[in-house]
Structure 1
Amino acid sequence: MFLTYLRRELRRRRKAALVVASGLALGIALVIVVTSVSAGMTQAQGKVLQSLYGLGTDMTVTKAQTPPEEGSTAARPRFQFDAKGEGEEDSGTEQSSDMVLPQGFQTLDAATVAKVAGQDGVAQAVGGLSLQVMKVNGQFKRGEFKRVEGATPAKPGATAGGGTGSGDTGSGGTVEGGGADFDVNSFTVYGADVTRPKLGPLTTSKITSGRGFEAGETDAAVAVVDSAYATKNKLAVGSEITVKKTVFKVVGIATADSGDAAANVYVPLKQAQTLAETPDKITTVYVQAKDSQGLADVKQAIQKNVPDTTVTTSADLADTVSGSLSTAASLASTVGTWLSYAVLAAAFLVAGLLTSSAVSRRVREFGTLKALGWKSGRVTRQVVGEALVNGLIGGALGIGLGLGAAYLITAVSPTLTAQLAGGGGGLMRAAGPGGGAAMTRGARDAAGKALDVALTAPVSLATIGLAVGLAVLGGLVAGGFGGWRASRLRPADALRRVE
């Protein structure tokens, strides 16, 4: 009897059943889409953090930032070149100067690695040295003096330009041409501990040509170059890179797994320390915890026992991600979540009201059944059963719509940008070789890292289970409205409506 009434009611009230199922389907589909997009945001953010942290890295330890002293000029870079005296014929000789500075201008003692590795909860730790290299190449050219016809020759000992500082030499003539032409090339170098290749930024790249570092190359003049940088500068395995008169042989080309590489050039840690003139110094300690659930305790232990350091976990870094990825994640987690809840609540309410309204139109039917001996509980179960079937139909439709929308998002794969906040800016000063005129330019440390990531919308079994649960809940809510209304019917009231 239950199934008979169920089939008959669904066929007889197809429109009402379709409205109830459609409302529930819309709410359930929206929940699936928001949940899957949020999961995609988490995956995208993980790719961003992985490209900076390295595989297996749970946190980083760096030198605590100290405010610069008032009047300090240690933050402005300065390049100096040998001056050529008058009469020298090689004024057009090309000159070059390299500046190698630790990124962030804050370094730690290499012994910090052992201190960090000895803390409770730390599985392993490795140090690295991030450097910014600025190469300036160019030449000064002497101007040519041209005498004006009929002009009075300048007196012996008079300065060109009559002391005016312009190209006019008074009544004697003019100076044309000359000047300076310099090219500034900047790239990043990372000093890797070659004895621990499974931790650190280099692990986010895959060797696609040549080989990686070998354990015995702790002080070898070898380099692994990022593929994008190698293509731009026409480098290949066997090429050479010169930094501060040190020639490095390229032994491998590495391609980043996602986003940008951590550095343009990778060299052994000891070589990087020599280039920066910072022996036994590092900029970062990469830490892998024994238990990813205990990162807070590990962070607290390091901060307590290793003074003057800043500990950053992947969760801390996630808070600094900005750009369209952050905006989309915020929309998905706030607006999208609340919108899905609102639509779902409205769908439940509408389903309940429509079911209750349908019950009121079946007063004579249910009254007659009660007069024939049906108990109120049996009538209620019949109404709840019909509503539950409507809910399951809505759930099936909602799952189909949600899966289709998630598949469409994954197929389109819209590109989002993520900006990782960098360190503070500043000017640096450093002396170059020789004496004479100096060239000064501004620079910033760790200037933030921009990455492009493709958004996907993965649907997990948990999401499907949530959708089924919502469908059942929606049916029960609707059935609860209708069952409550049906349980209050009396046979006498029903018989009064018999025409």
Structure 2
Amino acid sequence: MFGIYLKRELGRRKKAALVIALGLALGIALVITVDSVSAGMAQAQDKVLKSLYGLGTDMTVTKARTAPAAGGSGRPDFSFDAKSGGSSTQSSDRVTTQGGQTLKSALVTEIAAEKGVASAVGALSLNVTKVDGSFTQGTAKSSGGGTGGPGGGTGSTGRPQVQGGGADFDVDSYSVVGVDVAHQSLGPLSAMKITSGRTFTSAQTGAKAAVVSASYAKEKKYKVGSTFKVSGTKVTVIGVATPDSGESDTDVFVPLKVAQTLGDAKNQVTTVYVKATDSQRISAVKKAITADLPGTTVTTSADLASTVSGSLSTASDLATSVGTWLSVAVLAAAFLVAALLTSSAVSRRVREFGTLKALGWPSRNVTRQVVGESMVNGLIGGALGIALGVGAAWAVTAISPKLTAQLGGTGGAGGMGGGPGGGGPGQQASRNTMEIALSAPVSLTTIALAVGLAVTGGLIAGAMGGWRASRMRPADALRSVS
């Protein structure tokens, strides 16, 4: 009886049911679209951050560099000996640690033992400046001419002049990072994909081997098997790597022990990469490390995310603030309109409900009838809203609008990653601009949310209409009979 009457009444009021369903559908579709775009923004930001500190890294530990001693500039200096002869070739490398003050390698084990830390590895960032060129000695010549004194004699009165000679030097600077070859899944190399050759094995802790970035290999025309010298140490290229996204701030990766030898930094690191056991414990782990290791700077992925600017950041802010509030407002309006329309429809059905009560229908049956009709309208609206929302998300993914992300420094030596060039990738990122294609993935959670909203909208509309219908008396129906 209930189902037959429900079907007949909905069939009689197709236009009203469609208006209510469409109102709910628009609100639900907007929620799905905003939620999907926000998820796409989160994925885009993850790609940006992954290019800096590597997959799985939750935070880094660094220490700010102290001011140079009095009389020192803190910059590399070069001294060349003057040699006799027409030409003299000179070459000199200067290797300096970058990314802040060095930390003892023992701190890596200490950090790994902290509660809430799943793993920790150290890395050493170096900057190599190579000056290579030659001096050419000039030739001293005297200028002739001039007239002598009263005796009429002639002589050379010009001063000697140096002709020719000079210097021709090339300055090359590149970055080197020492990685823990036994734990490559965490740290700077984890954000790189080997495109040629291979990566290090766990046994190559002291191997004179290197993995170079694809851009640096192209610049220097390196390939697997090529050799080059770093401060007099000959290394062999065993692999060429490409970052998962963006561009790499590191040119050369070598085993940590080799980097410590090159930088004269035995048992030292510049950055400790940390992975927490649970994303919910990152904040607590940060506080614990900061308390146990005073003077260090702990930078989380959330800290670094705040430095991302550009259209990605602007769009993300709009999606999370304006978009969220807009979807909430539209959804609330849709619920209110559905409730008002349902209540208005009840008012026009005074004779119907009054007659049903006069025939013996209890108030709960009348309420159930109104709520049932509203629930069907809500489910129809939910189905339409899911279709519209998924369609909008698909359109965003198909168009794939391009967003730019400019990565700014976090200040000090606390930049995420501790890469070369001073202050780590967090600071280097000030010159790193990435372009990300936006997508709008629709998850099962989003679909479940849409179904929940549809049911909620139907219940709200049905509750208001059912409450009003339950208060009607049979006498109202008799008064409305003409």
Q: Which residue of 1 aligns with 2:347?
A: 360
Q: Which residue of 2 aligns with 1:157?
A: 159
1:52 to 1:498, Cα distance in 2 relative to 1, 3 A: same
Q: Which residue of 2 aligns with 1:391?
A: 378
2:114 counterpart (115, 119, 125): 119
Kindly state the Cα deviation for residue 469 of structure 1 after the two structures are TM-superposed: 0.7
- Are the counterparts in 1 of residues 127 and 175 from structure 2 also a CA contact under 8 Å? yes
Q: State yes or no: 1:98 paired with 2:93.
A: yes
Q: Equivalents in 2 of 1:155, 1:275: separation in Å?
A: 56
1:397 to 1:183, Cα distance in 2 relative to 1, 3 A: farther
1:244-285, CA deviations, whole angstroms, 9 ceiling, x for partnerless residues?
Answer: 232211011223233333622101222222322323321011
Aligned residue runs from structure 1 range 423-462, under 5 A = 424=411, 445-446=423-424, 447-449=427-429, 450=432, 451-462=434-445
- Are the counterparts in 2 of residues 140 and 178 from structure 1 also a CA contact under 8 Å? yes
1:328-382, CA deviations, whole angstroms, 9 ceiling, x for partnerless residues?
Answer: 2221111111110000000011111111112222222222223333233222221
Percent identical residues: 62
- Are the counterparts in 2 of residues 212 and 224 from structure 1 also a CA contact under 8 Å? yes
Q: Equivalents in 2 of 1:79, 1:495: separation in Å?
A: 107
Q: Equivalents in 2 of 1:195, 1:235: separation in Å?
A: 25
1:230 counterpart (199, 202, 217): 217
Q: Equivalents in 1 of 2:382, 2:141: separation in Å?
A: 90
Q: Equivalents in 2 of 1:12, 1:182: separation in Å?
A: 91
Q: Equivalents in 2 of 1:474, 1:108: separation in Å?
A: 58
Q: State yes or no: 1:281 paired with 2:268.
A: yes
Q: State yes or no: 1:130 paired with 2:125.
A: yes
Structure 1 counterpart SS, 2:36: helix
Q: State yes or no: 1:479 paired with 2:478.
A: no
1:475 to 1:196, Cα distance in 2 relative to 1, 3 A: closer
Q: Equivalents in 2 of 1:388, 1:292: separation in Å?
A: 39
Kindly state the Cα deviation for residue 223 of structure 1 after the two structures are TM-superposed: 0.6
Q: State yes or no: 1:349 paired with 2:336.
A: yes
1:204 to 1:151, Cα distance in 2 relative to 1, 3 A: farther
1:139 to 1:365, Cα distance in 2 relative to 1, 3 A: farther
Q: Equivalents in 2 of 1:423, 1:158: separation in Å?
A: 58
Q: State yes or no: 1:381 paired with 2:381.
A: no
Q: Which residue of 2 aligns with 1:9?
A: 9
In the superposition, the TM-score normalised over structure 1's length comes to 0.82
Greater shift, 362-371 or 332-341, is seen at 362-371
Q: Equivalents in 2 of 1:276, 1:376: separation in Å?
A: 86
Q: Equivalents in 1 of 2:21, 2:222: separation in Å?
A: 62
Q: Equivalents in 1 of 2:478, 2:392: separation in Å?
A: 50
Unmatched segments (≥5 aa) in structure 2: 148-154, 414-420
Kindly state the Cα deviation for residue 128 of structure 1 after the two structures are TM-superposed: 0.8
1:69 to 1:230, Cα distance in 2 relative to 1, 3 A: closer
Q: Equivalents in 2 of 1:390, 1:151: separation in Å?
A: 114
Q: Which residue of 1 aligns with 2:73?
A: 74
Q: Which residue of 2 aligns with 1:21?
A: 21
Structure 2 counterpart SS, 1:156: coil
Q: Equivalents in 1 of 2:367, 2:71: separation in Å?
A: 83
Q: Equivalents in 2 of 1:388, 1:147: separation in Å?
A: 108
Greater shift, 249-258 or 23-32, is seen at 249-258
Q: Which residue of 1 aligns with 2:151?
A: none
Kindly state the Cα deviation for residue 461 of structure 1 after the two structures are TM-superposed: 1.6
Q: Which residue of 1 aligns with 2:178?
A: 191
- Are the counterparts in 2 of residues 51 and 262 from structure 1 also a CA contact under 8 Å? no
Kindly state the Cα deviation for residue 417 of structure 1 after the two structures are TM-superposed: 3.0
In the superposition, the TM-score normalised over structure 2's length comes to 0.85
Q: Equivalents in 1 of 2:145, 2:341: separation in Å?
A: 107
1:423 to 1:30, Cα distance in 2 relative to 1, 3 A: closer
- Are the counterparts in 2 of residues 423 and 448 from structure 1 also a CA contact under 8 Å? no
1:50 to 1:368, Cα distance in 2 relative to 1, 3 A: same
Q: Equivalents in 2 of 1:72, 1:24: separation in Å?
A: 73
1:82 to 1:347, Cα distance in 2 relative to 1, 3 A: farther
Structure 1 counterpart SS, 2:202: coil
- Are the counterparts in 1 of residues 142 and 159 from structure 2 also a CA contact under 8 Å? no
1:17 to 1:141, Cα distance in 2 relative to 1, 3 A: farther
Q: Which residue of 2 aligns with 1:89?
A: 86
Q: Which residue of 1 aligns with 2:152?
A: none
Structure 2 counterpart SS, 1:329: helix
Kindly state the Cα deviation for residue 123 of structure 1 after the two structures are TM-superposed: 3.6
Q: Equivalents in 2 of 1:77, 1:154: separation in Å?
A: 47
Q: Which residue of 1 aligns with 2:55?
A: 55
1:139-195, CA deviations, whole angstroms, 9 ceiling, x for partnerless residues?
Answer: 5678999999999999533778xxxxxxxxxxxxxx8x9876654433321111223
Greater shift, 411-420 or 235-244, is seen at 411-420
Letter in 2 for 1:157: R
1:443-494, CA deviations, whole angstroms, 9 ceiling, x for partnerless residues?
Answer: 7543433343332222222211111110011111111222222223333333
Q: Which residue of 2 aligns with 1:432?
A: none
Kindly state the Cα deviation for residue 18 of structure 1 after the two structures are TM-superposed: 1.5
Q: State yes or no: 1:421 paired with 2:408.
A: yes
1:240 to 1:102, Cα distance in 2 relative to 1, 3 A: same
- Are the counterparts in 2 of residues 419 and 448 from structure 1 also a CA contact under 8 Å? no
Q: State yes or no: 1:110 paired with 2:68.
A: no
Structure 2 counterpart SS, 1:448: helix
Aligned residue runs from structure 1 range 279-358, under 5 A = 279-358=266-345
Q: Equivalents in 1 of 2:361, 2:244: separation in Å?
A: 68
Q: Which residue of 2 aligns with 1:213?
A: 200
Q: Equivalents in 2 of 1:243, 1:422: separation in Å?
A: 28
1:142 to 1:105, Cα distance in 2 relative to 1, 3 A: farther
Kindly state the Cα deviation for residue 291 of structure 1 after the two structures are TM-superposed: 4.3
For the aligned residues, what is the CA RMSD? Answer: 3.3
Q: Which residue of 1 aligns with 2:150?
A: none
- Are the counterparts in 1 of residues 22 and 381 from structure 2 also a CA contact under 8 Å? yes
Kindly state the Cα deviation for residue 94 of structure 1 after the two structures are TM-superposed: 5.7
- Are the counterparts in 1 of residues 307 and 410 from structure 2 also a CA contact under 8 Å? no
Q: Which residue of 1 aligns with 2:474?
A: 491
Letter in 2 for 1:118: A
Q: Equivalents in 2 of 1:182, 1:336: separation in Å?
A: 57
Q: Equivalents in 2 of 1:154, 1:329: separation in Å?
A: 81
- Are the counterparts in 2 of residues 61 and 312 from structure 1 also a CA contact under 8 Å? yes
Kindly state the Cα deviation for residue 399 of structure 1 after the two structures are TM-superposed: 0.6
1:85-141, CA deviations, whole angstroms, 9 ceiling, x for partnerless residues?
Answer: 8xx532xx6654433322234211222223223333434322110122333445567
